[in-house]
Amino acid sequence: MTAQRLIQSNGEPLFGIFDHPISNINVYDFQLLTPFGRPANRWQQWFGFNQFQYFGVISSELILGCAIADTKLVGVAFCYLYRPQTGEMLAYSLKSPFAHACQFAASPDAGNTTFAQGKQRIDMINQSQPKSRYLQVSLPKHGLTIDCHYCEHDSFTPMRICTKAGVNGWVYAQKAAGIPVEGTIECQWGTFDLAGLGACAHHDYSSGYMRRETFWNWGCLSGRTNDGQLIGLNVSCGVNETGFTENCFWLNGQLHKVDTVAFHYQKQDLFQPWRLQSYDGKVDLTFRPLGKHAECLNLWLMASNFHQLFGCFNGYLETVGGEKIAINNMLGFVEDHYAKW
């Protein structure tokens, strides 16, 4: 498959769902327009572009969530660990004014995305040949070291999507889930061998001119079914839905597209059960939270009210061919997120 740059020669992004790699988010070839069709000034062009990457790991013994986000006024990174069997949790957050500590890769499949602040460092490394993703975390102040990676084999198809956002913006997202992950995590609980735990990973690379004020729900699971099949789920509501949706799941690496998904939950009590249902009936899941990680900021021009809950899914997913895949107490995530970029 021939890779393409996202912004075309006419200055417009490609829109749609892609079965080929996007080699470069060449944002400097894009001219942002105001709502009245005039070229945006340099400050608007710079301020409007946001980026984030997320790397997650799920096993019955340990759950990991790690993210780096560049929102221009603030760079944010977090990393947390949760033990489903005991309910113990370790959580660490780092912030950098004007995102000085952040460096983002321009390609979804190659390059380093880094948050480095003193001796505290988080690296998400994307390698194209072979296609691999690495997470390396060194937080010596907290006694946390992570070195893990997974490979996307040629038969695996990520969800690659670019949709319109607001009047003149766009969002590119590239997602994967349900992939075995290897490596180690060292923390105050001890050393964990992820391959030995049978852990699976998921990944999200997103960038673009997102809506100035937005909200979304997101759901993800990653692991093995009772009969040993690899399964990964990525669904959302409120983002990447203008003409196309990112909703899908992977069964043994094969991507199965699904329709729009509704998230039913109690906004005032996020720990009550959630229900996720797709319009085409291919996703019907309940989610019972076990714990959550939250990040809340209100800086006038920029704000975030982020709640990522982890817990157990039950229900089913249905393939394109009509096969129903039973989901029994599989661990995963849901999200309730308000953002003003």
Instruction: Tell me the pLDDT tens digit for each residue of 35-93.
Output: 999 999 999 999 999 999 999 999 999 999 999 999 988 999 999 999 999 999 999 99
92 near 142, Cβ under 8 Å? Answer: yes
Q: In this predicted model, what pLDDT tens digit does every residue of 95-145 receive, in sequence order?
A: 999 999 999 999 999 999 999 999 999 999 999 888 999 999 999 999 999
d(CA 48, CA 256): 33
Q: In this predicted model, what pLDDT tens digit does every residue of 221-260 receive, in sequence order?
A: 999 999 999 999 999 999 888 889 999 999 999 999 999 9
d(CA 340, CA 236): 18
Average pLDDT, stretch 274-284?
98
- Whether the predicted pLDDT of 185 surpasses 80: yes
d(CA 151, CA 99): 29
3-state secondary structure of 95: strand
75 near 67, Cβ under 8 Å? Answer: no
Query: Residue 1's pLDDT band (boundaries 50, 70, 90)?
Result: low
Tokens at 189, concatenated: 């609980």
Q: What's the confidence (pLDDT) of residue 301?
A: 77
- State pTM to two decimals: 0.95
- Whether the predicted pLDDT of 214 surpasses 90: no
Q: CB neighbours (10 Å) of residue 29? A: 16
Q: What's the confidence (pLDDT) of residue 341?
A: 79
Longest CA span, the chain: 57
Mean of pLDDT over the chain = 95
Matching residue, tokens 């093995």: 224
Q: What's the confidence (pLDDT) of residue 41?
A: 96
205 near 53, Cβ under 8 Å? Answer: yes
Q: CB neighbours (10 Å) of residue 143? A: 11
89 near 81, Cβ under 8 Å? Answer: yes
Tokens at 188, concatenated: 């105050």
For 192-215, the three-class secondary structure string (H helix, E strand, C coil) is EEHHHHCCEEEEEEEEECCCCEEE
3-state secondary structure of 137: strand
Report whether the peptide linkage leading into residue 289 is cis, meaning its omega lies within 30 degrees of zero.
Answer: no
Q: In this predicted model, what pLDDT tens digit does every residue of 7-38 receive, in sequence order?
A: 999 999 999 999 999 999 999 999 999 999 99
Q: In this predicted model, what pLDDT tens digit does every residue of 303-335 receive, in sequence order?
A: 889 999 999 999 999 998 999 999 999 999 999
Strands 144-151 and 132-139, by their bridges, are antiparallel
3-state secondary structure of 115: strand
DSSP string, 266-321: -TT-TTS-EEEEETTSSEEEEEEEEEEEEEEEE-SS-EEEEEEEEEEEEEEEE-TT
3-state secondary structure of 44: helix
Q: What's the confidence (pLDDT) of residue 140?
A: 97
C-alpha closest to that of 259 among 286, 236, 279 = 279
Q: In this predicted model, what pLDDT tens digit does every residue of 119-128 receive, in sequence order?
A: 999 999 999 8
